[in-house]
A and B are shown apart, each in its own frame.
Chain A
Amino acid sequence: MIELRSVTKKYGDQAAVMDLTLTVSEGEVCILIGPSGCGKSTTIKLVNRMLEPESGEIFVNGRNVRGFKPEFLRRRIGYVIQYVGLFPHMTVSDNIAVVPKLLSWEKGRISNRVDELLHMVGLRPETYRHKYPHELSGGEAQRIGVARALASDPPVLLMDEPFGAVDPLNRESLQAEFMKIQKELQKTVLFVTHDLDEAIRLADKIALMRDGAIVQYDTPENILAHPANRFVHDFVGTDRALKRLSRYSVATIMRRAYSLSMHDYPTTVHEYLKKQPWLRFLWIVGEKGELRGWLDTRDFKEQGAEAEVITEVKDPHFGLSDDSTLRDALSRMLAEGVKVLPVLDRERRVVGEISLKDIERVTEEVTERWSE
């Protein structure tokens, strides 16, 4: 648990944080967001005493942070920064081992922990252990940054725009991985971002800040549904309904997909249609189950099996992954001009599908709830 009580931090005469009170419950992700200069980064740095407040008190797991030497406090709090800050003269495993070494863990325990963490962030220890940071991609480096922050298994994690310097594609998968790890570890996380979509996707609670104070502190749903004032309303924008979709992952509403290999064409199509005459699209897959194209059953029924009723998929990025958000799904449908998209796993095997109707159903539910 992180607790800030009436905290004020000034730079000269300028107050960066004004009389701020905030409680992050145990196991929750609280995201600080707001325009630049609103004091969100300052707030996070007050918690691990990178900065000292002029007044107010800060508690981590019930203990006043002033009761610790700053170094000892920081070793117990995970810290991830935007530019990762991996030490270029140390290997990946030495980088991850920095805090355990400061805590004087024994060698065997450290190397076990390093391997465990590499596994957790989805990197193979044998491949990455001895690499140097300059041999890593941006996404890999940020994964190591997260692993390093988790090294001593701190109960509290501070993340200062951790995915800010990563390209959009990598950011999405980092966010998805972060959610997976957080689900498992249940850390208390204070997270700073300027990306509202990221906040909506990852947060249990969002604290929207302006001029060093919190304007609204609530769940992403409530902030989108009931903006406290004009400022929040403008900040979340007029596409609130669309942003709301970032809260849902494709996996939550994905339905069963029907696929067949070209070898079974057209007999399997007849079989499928006999049992489920309402089926509209069938996915054509290759030998290993990977997506090759699709078949529109309406054309099939009208023109017969000999006509060209199969559309080949040439774009290697066609389709969704199960951790994509509904917002991504909708945007992809609009971009591709289709009403149904397949959901694929890492080997591009079809695991399900999602349709525009499914997304509409979610938005209707949401709108109903908002008007209540």
Chain B
Amino acid sequence: MERIEGSFYTRGIHLSGWLYILALFSILLFLVLNMGLWQHFLGFLFPKESEVIYPRADLFTLLREHVRLVFVSSTAAVAVGVGAALFVTRPFGKAFLPIVNDLSSLAQTIPPVAVLALAVPFIGFGFKPTVLALFLYSILPVLRNTISGIESISPNLIEAAFGMGMKRSQILVKVELPLAIKVIMAGIRTSVVINVGTATAGAVVGAGGFGAPIISGLVRENPAFVLEGAISAAILAFVLDQTLAKFEQSLFRG
């Protein structure tokens, strides 16, 4: 069977792609589990600091906390964002399109740190307010991309689908989602990558994660701690972005 390699609609199995993702995760795990490596590296960069490794938690623990924050908030943002976008692009939800757009823009304009400050008195410190702030902050890219992905589909295609006897639900699953998935996934990737970075702010209210060494380093004027947290967060963002890219590709297999 003939296949067009490298095309947008590429089919077939790309094992090499998944091996690449596996390699990225292995490197990430290797790095967070080898504290000695960090000791050497940061000790070399900052010879004057007496302490170069954040002492209160190892990187593996911080990774787990960080991933949990991002996973919970992003999953909720994707569910709500895609759900709301699909709702306002259905005939019965069209009326809500402007208000949903405005609300999500509003959520994006409030800085996450402000959300944290406002939320803590009501729901306490730690995990919960951080997830709330991340969730609000990351809905917009998912929602916007899903809406524009669906709306960019030519009305002729929808008419053709109706004319051939597809039901609304079949049009959504067989026509709209496959055609919009690339744009939707781009929104999800943006949202997740932003989330990984923004989640470091959670450390201010005690949510842990890679933000903890960053905040601690800033307070104690120890650049080694800041770098430890920042490098880890950057690597995590890169690995998650690549994984989502790979996942997106695999969705195009017939």
Contacts and interface: CB of A to CB of B under 8 A. Distances in A.
A85 B164 CA distance: 11
B9 A89 contact: yes
A50 B163 contact: yes
Interface string A87-100: 11100001000110
A148 B252 CA distance: 23
Contact of B160 (A73, A75, A76, A85): A85
A50 B159 contact: yes
A156 to B, nearest CB: 13
A81 B159 contact: yes
B165 A73 contact: yes
A301 interface: no
Q: List 9 A-B pairs, minimum CB-CB distance, nearest first.
A: A85-B160, A75-B165, A74-B165, A79-B163, A83-B156, A71-B165, A85-B156, A89-B178, A99-B164
B57 interface: no
Interface in B7-41: 7, 9
A74 B156 contact: no
A98 B164 contact: yes
A48 B161 CA distance: 13
Contacts of B227: none
A102 B179 contact: no
Given A85-B156, A89-B9, A74 B178 contact: no
B166 interface: yes
Interface string B161-183: 11111110010000100110000
A63 interface: no
16 contacts: A50-B159, A71-B165, A74-B163, A76-B165, A79-B160, A81-B159, A81-B163, A84-B156, A85-B160, A87-B175, A87-B179, A89-B179, A89-B252, A94-B254, A98-B164, A102-B170
* Interface range on chain A (Cβ under 8 Å from partner): 20 to 34
Contacts of B166: 71, 98, 102
Nearest to B1: A130
A370 interface: no
B2 interface: yes
Interface in B181-205: none
B154 interface: yes
Nearest to A72: B165
B157 interface: yes
A48 B1 contact: no
A88 B159 contact: no
Query: Which residue, A48, A75, A89, has most C-beta atoms of chain B within 10 A?
Result: A89
Contacts of B160: 79, 81, 84-87
A146 to B, nearest CB: 13
A248 interface: no
Given A99-B165, A130-B2, 8 more contacts: A73-B165, A81-B159, A87-B175, A87-B179, A89-B178, A94-B254, A98-B164, A158-B163
Contacts of B179: 87-89
Given A71-B166, A74-B162, A99-B164, A132 B156 contact: no
A76 B163 CA distance: 10
B160 to A, nearest CB: 3
A71 B168 CA distance: 10
Interface string A38-78: 00000000001010000000000000000000111111100
B97 to A, nearest CB: 23
Contacts of B9: 89, 132
Contacts of B167: 71
B12 to A, nearest CB: 12
A298 to B, nearest CB: 56
A72 to B, nearest CB: 7
Contacts of A75: 164-165
A74 B175 contact: no
Given A50-B159, A87-B175, A102 B154 contact: no
A130 B179 CA distance: 18
